[in-house]
Every structure is written in structure tokens, then in C-alpha cells.
């Protein structure tokens, strides 16, 4: 039978990259960890590591076994949590990552409800964009990731990650109230000659803008880039251009700005993602339920008039 402790060391080396980092995390010595990994190789009869200069790297076989190790450790962690839940009720510490407009709205609502319902569950939060959030989830730096995709930009999940739908929000065109094309519902083709405000080009939100305009037959002339939708709205108020903004990203509509429905509807889909091996974790299930209820409540109440 494979030694789970040694398997955990192999998985940690794959995740952290150096023996020194593994030793620091496990409170052991680097030579001691090297000896344990050598013993694992002898026990299995497979070469798991190789020297690359001064660094100990994993072979393809080592990386494969390390991936199994992460799943095994996740399962053990789940078993420990379930035993604890049986003894004292739902409890634990969870690392949550969520994109900024989610963190500011329904994630904050869910956290508030959790504090009232059960102070035994502890959360920590970081606010990366979905691409980085999924990377943190896969690497084991997060337990639950709140991510999004757009109706015109589907998102592919990494292997070993599952996602549960939370809610669907509208994407609006923000434009000056005195714009000649302003109306309750607009066709993007009428804005081909306008200046546009958009997120940076390496974000999914930019892809959403570019594809929506492309389907309308033009490429947007972007004059300003910002990942902050509040900044985009202020620039719309200043007359700098128009912008496509998701509903929950609108904390307030500046004076002189109108939010119009797009005739070819655009929407942003919200998800809670976790590693497949953590499916059934009672704490994660509870967090996902609270996030779903809070997200749907926010979407219902937040739609601008």
C-alpha cells in the first residue's frame, strides 16, 4: 500500500516546486523529505524525481502520482470534516476567491448570513478575476471559487473542477442620457461610430465586449481601459464613450448616465467552483447554497429601472 504521508510530500513538491518550500510548509528538513521521496521510489519501483541542476524535479510518473496524491489528500480532508460535522455540526475553515463585484455584493451578503447562522465556519477571501481564481483552486490555494462566464463567452473548466450555477445577471449598455441613440432598448449596431470603454484585453469581460460588437458588425474603438466598472460609468458620464456593464457591477448610476437593455440580450452567468475531490464537503455545500440564495436575491432587487 502506498504511504499516504510520502504521497503528500510528493504532491507538495509538485505544488510548491522546491524541497525548501515543502520543508517550510511541513516543518521538516529538506534532506529528510528527499530521503522519504527516495524511499517511496524504492517501494514503488518507479523513478518519481530527477535532478535538474540544483533542483529536484518530478518525472512524468511523479507528476501523475502527485495528482492522485492531491485527490487522496482532499478525500482524507473531506472525511475528517464529515466526522467533525457529525460530532459538533458544520464547522471548518475555508478559503474563498471571488471576482470583485461578486465579493462586494452577494458574497458579502452570504458571509453576513453565515456569521448569524453559525460562527463555527471561518472564511478567508481574496478577489482575483476568474482566470486566476481557477488557477488558485487547482493549485490548492483556495477551496471555493466564485467565477463567471458570459452568454457569448463560454468558460472551459480545468480538469478536476466542477461548478454549480448561482444566478444569471443582465449586461447593460451604459450611455449618456442625451445621446441621440439613447432608448430603453438599443441595438449595438447603432454605436459602431461611438468611442468605447472596456476592460483590459486579457480579461473575459473584454472578450464579451469585442464579441458583442463583432456580432453587430463592427470592432469597438476602445479609448479607455479599466477593470473597474465604476470607473467606466464615470467616464460614460464624462462623455468619453459607451460601455457594456454587468448588473451587479453597478454600485450606483452616475448622473447623466442611462442603462439600456441590448436588443440581442447579453447576460453574465455566475458559478461556484470547487475541486471534484471536494464534492460532498458539507461546509462547501452550505457555502454554495448561501451564495446561490444571496446571488439570486441581489439579481432580483438590483436590476435598474
Residue-wise pLDDT tens digits, 218-230? 999 999 999 999 9
Give the model's pLDDT for residue 305: 45
Residue-wise pLDDT tens digits, 23-43? 888 888 988 888 888 888 898
Averaged pLDDT, 105-119:
88
pLDDT band (50, 70, 90) for residue 89: very low
Averaged pLDDT, 74-96:
70
- 104 pLDDT exceeds 50? yes
Averaged pLDDT, 207-222:
95
What is the pTM for the complete model shown? Answer: 0.72
Lowest mean pLDDT among 22-26, 44-48, 116-120, 250-254: 116-120
Percent of the chain clearing pLDDT 90 (strictly above): 58
The neighbour count for residue 299, using CB atoms within 10 Å, is 20
Amino acid at each position: 500500500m502506498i504511504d499516504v504521508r510520502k504521497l503528500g510530500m510528493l504532491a507538495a513538491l509538485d505544488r510548491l516546486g522546491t524541497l525548501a518550500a515543502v520543508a517550510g510548509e511541513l516543518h521538516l528538513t529538506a534532506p529528510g523529505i528527499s530521503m522519504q521521496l527516495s524511499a517511496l521510489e524504492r517501494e514503488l519501483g518507479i523513478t518519481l524525481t530527477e535532478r535538474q541542476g540544483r533542483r529536484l524535479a518530478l518525472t512524468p510518473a511523479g507528476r501523475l502520482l502527485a495528482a492522485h496524491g492531491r485527490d487522496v489528500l482532499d478525500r482524507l480532508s473531506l472525511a475528517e470534516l464529515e466526522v467533525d460535522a457529525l460530532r459538533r455540526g458544520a464547522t471548518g475553515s475555508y478559503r474563498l476567491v471571488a471576482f470583485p463585484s461578486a465579493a462586494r455584493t452577494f458574497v458579502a451578503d452570504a458571509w453576513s448570513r453565515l456569521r448569524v447562522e453559525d460562527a463555527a465556519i471561518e472564511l478567508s477571501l481574496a478577489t482575483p478575476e476568474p482566470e486566476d481564481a481557477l488557477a488558485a483552486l487547482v493549485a490548492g490555494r483556495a477551496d471555493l471559487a466564485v467565477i463567471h462566464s458570459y452568454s457569448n463567452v463560454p468558460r472551459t473548466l480545468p480538469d478536476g473542477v466542477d461548478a454549480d450555477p448561482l444566478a444569471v445577471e443582465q449586461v447593460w449598455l451604459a450611455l449618456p442620457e442625451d445621446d441621440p441613440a439613447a432608448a430603453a432598448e438599443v441595438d449595438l449596431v447603432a454605436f459602431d461610430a461611438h468611442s468605447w470603454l472596456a476592460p483590459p484585453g486579457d480579461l473575459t469581460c473584454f472578450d464579451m465586449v469585442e464579441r458583442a460588437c463583432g456580432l453587430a458588425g463592427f470592432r469597438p474603438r476602445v479609448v479607455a481601459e479599466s477593470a473597474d466598472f465604476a470607473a467606466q460609468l464615470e467616464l460614460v458620464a464624462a462623455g468619453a464613450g459607451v460601455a457594456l456593464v454587468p448588473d451587479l457591477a453597478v454600485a450606483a448610476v452616475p448622473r447623466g448616465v442611462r442603462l439600456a437593455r441590448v436588443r440581442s440580450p447579453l447576460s453574465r452567468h455566475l458559478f461556484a467552483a470547487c475541486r471534484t475531490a471536494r464534492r460532498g464537503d458539507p461546509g462547501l455545500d452550505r457555502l454554495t447554497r448561501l451564495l446561490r440564495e444571496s446571488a439570486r436575491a441581489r439579481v432580483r432587487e438590483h436590476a435598474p429601472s
